[in-house]
Amino acid sequence: MAEMALWEAVRRAHDEELARDPMVIVMGEDVGLAGGTYKATLGLYEKYGPERVIDTPISENSFTGLGIGASFLGVRPIIEIMSVNFAWLALDQIANTAAKVRYMSGGQLQAPVVIRSPGGVAHQLGAQHSARMEKVFMGIAGLRVVTPSNPRQAYGLLKSAVRCNDPVFINEHEYMYNLRGEVPDEEYLHPLEGSEVAREGRDVTLFGYNISVHWCLKAAERLAAEHGIDCEVVDLYALSPLDRAGIARSVAKTHRAVIVEEAEAPCGVGAEVMAIINEECFYELDAPPVRVSARNVPIPYNRTLERAAIPDPDEVVAAVLRLLGR
C-alpha cells in the first residue's frame, strides 16, 4: 500500500488509463499546461501531448458536448468540469444526450464518458462556488453517480468509470483533495455499485457519503467513548444506483438510522435513503430515521455563517442522542 493524497490518487488513475488505452482523452479548463486546478492532471500534458490532454475554452456546455459526441465514436473522454457549480451550464448535454442516447437509439449508440467535478463547501468560496449538486445528478435516469470518500476509492472509481460503457458522473469534494490515505500498489478497480461499511456497530447506523463519512466516523468515536453507543458507519459511495440491499442490511442489524449529508435536505440523498428504509425495512425500525443536513439557504461567504450553514460531527452526535432518547 502507498499513502497518497486524494488528488494524487486521481492523477495516478488518469495516468494509468491514458497509458493503457489510446482512446482515453482528458479535457477541461486548465487540465493541460496548468495541470488542473486541483493538480489532478499534473504533468500529463507534457507526457501525452495536447491531442490527448486538451485545454478547453471556458464553455462547459460546448466542451462537454464535444466529449460526449466523441464518445459515440469510441473515444473514452474524461471531462473535468472545474467546479460542479458550472455543471449547470452543461446539464443539457449530460442529461439530454449522454444519459439518454443508448435508450433513445435502441442500443445503437452509447456514451462511455466520465464527467468528474469537485463540489461541496470549501473555504469561503461563496454561494456560487459551494454547490452540492449530487441530488440533481441522482435524478437523471441513465447516469451513474459515484462520490469517493478517500484516496483508494477516488483511484479505483475513476479507473472503473473509464472502462464502463455507461456515462458516469464522479462527484469529488473540494475540501478533501489533500486528504491522505492508502491506495493499493497494484492496479485496483473499485465497483461502481454498492456501499462500504466504514465502521462496524450495533446500536445505530450512520449513513454518509464523501465528506460526511468523516463526520460520521468522528461522531462514532465520540459516542463510543463518551456514551457507550456503538455506531455503524456506512459509506454510500455510489449514489446512483443506491445500494438498497446494503442500506436495508445495516438497518436490520442496528434498527436505527441517521443519514448525514452536507447538502440541503429537500429532495436530497437523505430523503432517498429514508424512502428506501421505509420501503425495504420499515418493520425493522425501533425509531423513525433522522436526517442531518445543511440549512436550506445559499451558502454564505462569511466564515462564521458558512460554518453555521452546514453540519458537523457535533450535530451528528446530538442527532444520535435524540434518536436514542438520551
Q: Which domains does the chain have, with CATH numbers?
A: 2-183 (3.40.50.970), 196-323 (3.40.50.920)
Say what the pTM is.
0.95
pLDDT at 244: 97
pLDDT at 221: 98
pLDDT at 1: 84
Place of cell 449538486: 133
Distance CA 72, CA 70 (A): 5
Spatial CB neighbours of 304, under 8 Å, sequence gap ≥ 6:
none
Could you list the active site residues? 60, 129
* Residue stretches of the chain with pLDDT short of 50: none
101-116 core/surface letters (b: 16 or more CB in 10 A; e: else): bbeeeeeeebbbbbbb
3-class SS letters over 94-153: HHHHHCCHHHHCCCCCCCCCEEEEEECCCCCCCHHHCCCCHHHHHCCCCCEEECCCCHHH
Place of cell 452546514: 310
| Identity of residue 321 | L
Among 114, 177, 169, which Cα is nearest to 147's? 169
Instruction: Return the C-alpha cell found at 136.
Output: 440533481
For residues 259 and 273, the answer to whether their CB atoms sit within 8 Å is yes
Among 163, 156, 167, 158, which Cα is nearest to 190's? 156
